[in-house]
Structures are given as C-alpha cells and as structure tokens.
Amino acid sequence: MVLCFGDVCGMVRVEKRIKVHREGKVFEVTALFDTGSRRSYFSKEFAEKLGFEPYREPKDVPLAVKGKTAKLIGDTVVYIEVDGWLLPEREVIGVVEDLRIDAIIGLNIMESYGIYIEEDELKFREKPPTSTII
C-alpha cells in the first residue's frame, strides 16, 4: 500500500513469511517489510527463541509518532531467507521490547539486496539476490 498526499508518497508495507537462520537452527516467522523503517528489528519474544545479546542499558528508538519511542534492548546476528532465497550476508537485527509483530524488515536489508514492493508483493531486482559493493 502506498500513501500519497498530492505529490508526496509515504511508506509501503507487505507481510511475508521468512526464515531466520541462527547457529544451525531455522525459525519461520511473519515479517513486515516496511519501507518506512530504516532498520530491521525482532520482537523480544521472537529473539528469546533465537537467542540475543542484551544491552547493558536499553536505548530509545524514535517512532514515527511525535514524542514516542521504543526500547531497543539488544541485538542478534542471523541469516535471513526470503521467498526461498538465502540472503548472502549475516545481518545484525535489533531487539525491541513490546513490538507488535515478530519481525520488521527495513530499508537496511531491502535496499542492500534489491528487494522492493510492487502491487503489494515483494520483488527482487536480481535473483539470486546479492549485495552490491560500489
């Protein structure tokens, strides 16, 4: 879905099942691919199943709502599989307390691998997806 007001268009979101690979285990989860998110995050509940490194002190992450923040409590390093394609590099994913969905895949991953949304579906600029070094 694209939100447009005049000539200004906003974020696009699509939900999709993905596989998350960590330390020889594979977990399947519903992820929100969100062009309005610069980074990618897992819920605390999902990250507890995977395993994650907690931060000594939580960090505030600004939300799109003025004056609102989320608590970033740690991170985990994983491989992500989308539509049967294992993305070639490990990703550091932040862990957020009280996230309503188990995974948010943001622009840091989508842009790196040429993943985009067209007519409410995920597409890849290249198959297999690769990261590009410029």
DSSP string, 8-21: EE---EEEEEEEEE
- pLDDT given at position 133: 66
Q: What six digits make up the tokens of 46?
A: 């999902």
pLDDT of residue 67: 82
pLDDT tens digits, one per residue of 30-39: 999 999 899 9
CA distance 65 to 69: 8
pLDDT tens digit string along 42-96? 999 999 999 999 999 999 988 877 788 899 999 999 999 999 999 999 999 999 9
Domain presence at residue 59? yes
- Comparing 3-7, 25-29, 61-65, 118-122, which segment has the lowest mean pLDDT? 3-7
Would you tell me how many other CB atoms lie within 10 Å of the CB of residue 23? Answer: 9
- This prediction has a pTM of 0.87
Q: What is the mean pLDDT of residues 108-124?
A: 94
10 domain-assigned: no
- The amino acid at 61: V
Distances (CA, A) of 16 to 8, 19, 133: 26, 10, 27
CB atoms within 10 A of CB 39: 16
Residue 93 lies in a domain: yes
* pLDDT value of position 63: 80
Q: Which residues constitute the domain of residue 81?
A: 15-124
Q: Is residue 133 part of a domain?
A: no
Query: Does residue 8 carry a pLDDT above 80?
Result: no
Please check whether residue 44 lies inside any domain of the structure.
yes
- CATH assignment at residue 104: 2.40.70.10
Domain count, the chain: 1
Please indicate, yes or no, if residue 5 is contained in any of the structural domains. Answer: no
Residue 32, in any domain of the structure: yes
What average pLDDT is seen over the chain?
89
